[in-house]
A and B are shown apart, each in its own frame.
Chain A
Amino acid sequence: MNKRKMYLRMITSSLMRRRSRMIIALLAVAIGATIFFGLATIYIDIPQQMGQEFRSYGANMIFLPSEDGESISDETADKLKGSIPENDLVGMTPFRYENVRINELPFMAAGTDFEQVKKTAPYWYITGNTPSGEGEVLVGKDLADTVGAGEGSEIFIKIETGNDKMEEFTFTVAGILQTGGNEEEYVFMSVADMERISGTKEGYDVFECSIRQSAQELKALSDKIGSENPGVTPRLVKRVAESEGTVLTKLQALVLLVTIVVLGLTMVTVATTMMAVVVERRKEIGLKKALGASNGSITGDFLGEGFFLGLFGGGIGIGLGFLFAHAVSLNVFSRTVFFHPVLIPITLGISAGVTILACLIPVRRATDVDPALVLKGE
Chain B
Amino acid sequence: MNLLEVKNVSKIYGNLKALDDVSFNVKKGEWVAIMGPSGSGKSTVMNIIGGMDTASEGTVILDGVDITKEKDKNLTNIRRDKIGLIFQQFHLINYLTAVENVMVAQYYHSMPDEKEALAALERVGLKERARHLPAQLSGGEQQRCCIARALINYPALILADEPTGNLDEANEKKVLEIFKQLHDEGATLIVVTHDIEVAEQAQRTIVLEHGRLAKIVENEAFGDSGANAPEEEGYAAKGGLGQYGKPKRR
Contact = CB atoms under 8 A, between A and B. Distances in A.
Most B-side CB within 10 Å, residue of A10, A287, A293: A287
For the complex of A and B, 5 pairs with smallest distance between CB atoms: A292-B80, A17-B95, A372-B52, A6-B112, A372-B47
A9 B93 CA distance: 13
Chain A, interface size category, equals: 20 to 34
Contact of B73 (A14, A290, A294, A371): A294
A9 B111 CA distance: 14
B95 A18 contact: yes
Chain B, interface size category, equals: 35 or more
Interface in B113-169: 113-114, 133, 149, 161
A9 B91 CA distance: 19
A237 B73 CA distance: 72
Contacts of A10: 96, 100, 104, 107
Interface string A133-169: 0000000000000000000000000000000000000
B77 interface: yes
25 contacts: A3-B111, A3-B112, A6-B104, A6-B106, A10-B107, A13-B95, A13-B100, A17-B95, A17-B133, A288-B93, A289-B76, A290-B50, A291-B80, A292-B76, A292-B77, A292-B79, A292-B108, A293-B80, A294-B108, A372-B47, A372-B53, A374-B87, A374-B91, A375-B85, A375-B87
Interface of B: 43, 46-47, 50, 52-53, 73, 76-77, 79-81, 85, 87-89, 91, 93-96, 100, 103-109, 111-114, 133, 149, 161
Nearest to A294: B76
A18 B114 CA distance: 23
Nearest to A21: B95
A2 to B, nearest CB: 7
A1 interface: yes
A284 interface: yes
Nearest to B73: A294
A17 B101 CA distance: 14
B167 to A, nearest CB: 14
A283 interface: yes
A10 to B, nearest CB: 7
Contact of B103 (A6, A289, A292, A294): A6
A376 B94 CA distance: 19
B39 to A, nearest CB: 12
Contacts of B105: 291-292
A341 interface: no
B103 to A, nearest CB: 6
A282 to B, nearest CB: 11
Given A289-B76, A290-B79, A292-B108, A13 B96 contact: yes
B96 A290 contact: no
